[in-house]
Amino acid sequence: MNLIKIPDNQLTKGNIEENINYVTQAIQDGWIDALKAHLYFKAVKKLAESVEKNTLSDAISEADKYGSDNKLYGAEFNVRGTAGTLDYEQDQEYRLLNDQLKARKKQLDDAWKAKQNGNALFDDNGEQLPVVPVKKPGGQTISVSFK
């Protein structure tokens, strides 16, 4: 399946967008089977993410060789540091508040589920738990695994 058409040395936003539009239109017009394309791009995504992760240190070493003109194949790039992450779990108060938050989320989930069955849910003090609205409705997707 040869879907991608990016000219040599032209990894530009425009060329990427052009390919997105081309492939999307070809699928919508029925020239390319939508399911085959979906599975193909899932595999390409997995391949790209893995290769990117596995070769990051090599790419950083190579990128360090470039001076101030950090352009290659039409793409601009910079090597920069990333922020570290604090270990909040080491703080007792954080863990307590986080546990309380998780418990409250469970209560709200349970109250919403109870309402779907025509019931109400009450807390330990006899107060009816509020039913919060759905922020983002669920949808459908295709679960893909490669064997």
The model's pLDDT over 1-47, given as tens digits with 9 standing for 90+, comes to 555 665 666 788 888 898 899 999 999 999 999 999 999 999 999 99
Residues 26 and 68 in one domain: yes
Structure tokens at 84: 């570290």
pLDDT of residue 126: 93
The model's pLDDT over 52-100, given as tens digits with 9 standing for 90+, comes to 999 999 999 999 988 777 888 888 899 989 999 999 999 999 999 999 9
**Cα 136 to Cα 141: distance, rounded to the nearest angstrom:** 15
Q: Which of 33, 57, 76 is the last residue of a domain?
A: 76
Count of structural domains, the chain = 2
pLDDT of residue 70: 86
Helices and strands counted in the chain (H then E): 4, 2
Could you tell me which residues come within 8 angstroms of residue 43 by beta carbon, excluding any fewer than 6 positions away? 146
Residues 56 and 103 in one domain: no
Residues 105 and 62 in one domain: no
Could you tell me which residues come within 8 angstroms of residue 89 by beta carbon, excluding any fewer than 6 positions away? 95
Lowest mean pLDDT among 1-5, 75-79, 111-115, 117-121: 1-5
